[in-house]
Amino acid sequence: MARIKTEKNTTRKDVIVSKAAILFREKGFKAASMRDLAESVGVEAASLYNHIKSKTELLHELCFSVANCFLQKLDEIESEPIPAIQKIEKILRFHIVEMVNNYEEVYVSDREWKHLNDPYLSNFQNQRRIYRKRLAAIIETGIKNKEIKPIDAATAVLILLHAISGIESWHRSKQKITAAALEENMVTILVGGLTV
């Protein structure tokens, strides 16, 4: 009957959500059972329900906390008075750092959102669509200003975002280069690929 151990400023629910992220990443949302999660938290499955409403609630929390984090940063960067290509680079770096540091959450948000239920699902998809449109708009500005090659902006966004999700492979690989080196390499290739 040992309680879930919490560190300072974290609720027991936080602990569960964060263990869920790890589990959902490694097995996928559907394949991860509440009994698995319970075991990794150190408790019986039914006990989880003293803290959460349902399994999907865990997915909501993960998906939307990640989405909000990126949206907020985009707001910030969009309003800075710098060239478009620098905005793109900043956003790219932020994505990379987030993917490196909050791997589990970001990965789950990226790959498992399909299993959200409406209305969360449509909501999430909308947010995502709008986010990409805003990125595309920045790129188009850069193209107008001759900072960026005249390419299809939507395609560029697609490449950027998916390349970032490739950091998953870096996380899993044995001989990792440092996170900083990874970041520089990615920026070199991707920003280099966009720049005129």
Partner DNA sequence: ATAAACCGCTAACACATGTTAGTGCAAATA
Partner DNA sequence: TATTTGCACTAACATGTGTTAGCGGTTTAT
Q: Which residues pair with 195 in a beta bridge?
A: 148
Nearer of residues 42 and 150 to DNA, judged by Cβ: 42
Residue 84 near residue 142, CB atoms below 8 Å:
yes
Distance CA 94, CA 173 (A): 22
Q: Could you say whether residue 108 binds its own copies (CB under 8 A)?
A: no
Query: Is 35 one of the binding residues for its own copies (CB under 8 A)?
Result: no
Own/partner pairs for 176-179, CB < 8 Å, 24+ apart?
Answer: 179/97, 179/100
Question: Segment 12-41, which members bind DNA (CB under 7 A)?
Answer: 12, 32-36
Tokens (6 digits) for 95? 């994505």
The continuous run of DSSP H or E covering 83 comes out as: none
Which residues, 6 or more positions from 128, have their beta carbon under 8 angstroms from its beta carbon?
67, 113
Q: Among 128, 135, 132, which residue's Cα sits nearest to residue 78?
A: 135
Rounded to a whole number of angstroms, the minimum distance from the CB of residue 174 to DNA is 29
| Residue 83 binds to its own copies (criterion: CB under 8 A) | no
Query: Token pair 């969009």 is at which residue?
Result: 78
Q: How far is the CB of 81 from its own copies (least distance, A)?
A: 26
Is residue 11 close enough to count as binding its own copies by CB under 8 A? no
Least distance in angstroms from the C-beta of 47 to DNA: 4
Residue 47 interacts, among DNA, its own copies, none and using kind-specific CB cut-offs from 5 to 8 Å, with DNA
Residues that bind its own copies (CB under 8 A): 27-28, 30-31, 111, 114-115, 149, 151-152, 154-156, 158-159, 161-167, 169-170, 173, 177, 181-182, 185-186, 188-194
* Contact residues for DNA, defined by CB under 7 A: 1-4, 12, 32-36, 43-47, 49-51, 54-56
